[in-house]
Amino acid sequence: MLQPINVSLESLNLVTLAPMLIAIVGGLVILILDLINEKLHKSLYVMLTILLLVVDFGATLGLGVNERGFFDVMLIDGISIISQLMIIVASIIFIPLALTSKRFHEYSYPEFFALFLFMIAGFQFMVASDNLILIFVGLETASLSLYTLIALHNRANSFEAAVKYFTMGALAAAFYAMGSAVVYGLTGSVELYKVAEVLATRMNETGLMIAIFGSSVLLLVAFAFKLSLFPFHTWAPDVYEGAAAPLVGYMSVVPKIAAFVVSIRIFGMYIDLGVEWVRVTLLVMAVLTMTMANIMALVQEDVKRMLAYSSISHAGFIMAALALDTTEGTTAIFLYYALFMFTNLGAFAMLWISRRKKKAFSNRYDHPYSKFAGFIKIMPVGATIMALFMLSLAGVPPFSLFWGKIYVMQAAVNSGYIWLAVVMGLNSAIAAYYYLKLIVYMFLMEPVKKVDVIYYNLSKPLMVVIGFATIATVGAIFYVQPLVSYLYYMISASGY
């Protein structure tokens, strides 16, 4: 006779699930609203999504640090809270970009907003667990939604982008599943903290290293795809080119935050166990990523592709911080993304408002450099704002990303990796060239054609978003201190 298992509701600690449930229920509500009345305007859905995200934000903020819940698969530690907060903030900035003055296909479907909320729930699951299966479920939920969001843009190259991303994503998922299977086979557990315990006791066994090697290589490949690290980055520029500009800005931040959190958990564990070559591999990949992506960005003719390569290069920067596996290094990851988020979303929003349905400047590209020639004479304010974003991405002080950069470099110096800091410095100098190229086009060249309006797509909500991103970029010096101390506190509280 089986013993009945009593599960008390308190022990489930269901509040840990609240943020994701809000997003999922919100998505369902949007679908139901559409069922009742088909003719609702996109602005309703945008505002509804923002409101749901605000509630989600509040629920996340209210979580206690270092709690577990729901059969102990949910892990609410410092990094899961800050990463969820960052994901939600980035989403709140992103979604009003739907309110363009021109009509774009995807936003007329309420499914877009429902899928968007499901995706956020997926990312939240990913970062709020150390259970390899739940991470996988979150990853797939989020990724499948994201592929659909890209395809909804409804152009030939966005279908291409979606399919390419899907294929690569599926491959990465397969590698992830295989890697997890090896880990499970080794330790009999899919919970990372138990995996770490078991591995720690067995570290001196002969032959174990090969198995650890296998598992970590498989997982490394999976996340290198997701984080678009060299040499698994080749999908990124094409996908970024095909997707809608704001979505690209979003994709270069939010999925990467989620993937970085999981990487911190998994690879941090390996490094803590003393598997030094994981660190070496990560460092090599990080250096190659930032350097190669930078060199490839130099020769791009399209601003969007250039920004795609630049965000790959920034991911390399952050990967280097991860490989340090110190509290400062981990803080640097989040600080960097928190600052990068505003600047990058702002830069892509600037591309978005200049988007025309027809390609007026080039047969191949939407945003060739020549489109921005003489921008200062046509729209001085727009050119100045875009230049600020570029300078910030290049790491010119006092704009936001400079503080992220010196924090990463300081973390590298503090761990004794001075050569890494020097490599980062040289890479920033290379990167300055292609950011500068856009500034040169905007400020120093004459307009190519007689263009009256470049801001084809501008509307008040977009101006608010861009204004907000600009303030966050320029005024970074004033909020870096509270941000750093909050991040540092949360991260050290959860033991990273």
Residues that bind another protein (CB under 8 A): 376, 391, 394, 396-398, 402-403, 406-407, 409-410, 413-414, 418, 421-422, 425-426, 428-429, 432-433, 436, 439-440, 443-445, 477, 480-481, 484-485, 488
Nearer to another protein, 112 or 441 (CB): 441
Instruction: Return all residues near 273 (Cβ < 8 A) that are at least 6 apart.
Output: 196, 199, 200, 203
Closest CB 395 distance from another protein, rounded Å:
8
Nearer to another protein, 214 or 398 (CB): 398
Nearer to another protein, 29 or 440 (CB): 440
Closest CB 79 distance from another protein, rounded Å:
18
How buried is residue 466: exposed, middle or buried, by Cβ count under 10 Å (0-12/13-18/19+)?
buried
CB distance 365 to 301 below 8 Å: yes
Nearer to another protein, 231 or 425 (CB): 425
Q: How many Å apart are CA 332 and CA 403, to the nearest integer?
A: 10
| Nearest residue to 443 (alpha-carbon basis) of 375, 367, 379, 381 | 375
Main-chain dihedrals φ then ψ at residue 49, nearest 5 degrees? -60, -45
Residue whose tokens read 């499901």: 118
Closest CB 361 distance from another protein, rounded Å:
20
Alpha helices (H) in 188-253, listed in sequence order: 192-202, 208-226, 235-242, 245-251
Instruction: Return all residues near 316 (Cβ < 8 A) that are at least 6 apart.
Output: 229, 230, 285, 286, 287, 288, 289, 290, 291, 293, 427
Closest CB 406 distance from another protein, rounded Å:
7
208, two tokens:
């174990």
To 10 degrees, what angle do helices 380-394 and 418-444 make? 170
Closest CB 352 distance from another protein, rounded Å:
25
Nearer to another protein, 15 or 406 (CB): 406
Closest CB 284 distance from another protein, rounded Å:
20
Cα 33 vs. chain centroid, distance in angstroms? Answer: 30
Closest CB 375 distance from another protein, rounded Å:
13
Main-chain dihedrals φ then ψ at residue 302, nearest 5 degrees? -115, 135
Nearer to another protein, 71 or 433 (CB): 433
For 161, other C-beta atoms within 10 Å of its C-beta total 26
Nearer to another protein, 214 or 397 (CB): 397
CB distance 366 to 489 below 8 Å: no
Give the DSSP H or E segment for 53: helix 42-61
Closest CB 441 distance from another protein, rounded Å:
10
Nearer to another protein, 73 or 376 (CB): 376
Closest CB 261 distance from another protein, rounded Å:
22
For 330, other C-beta atoms within 10 Å of its C-beta total 27
Q: How many Å apart are CA 102 and CA 15, to the nearest integer?
A: 41
Nearer to another protein, 260 or 403 (CB): 403
Nearer to another protein, 213 or 489 (CB): 489
Closest CB 396 distance from another protein, rounded Å:
5
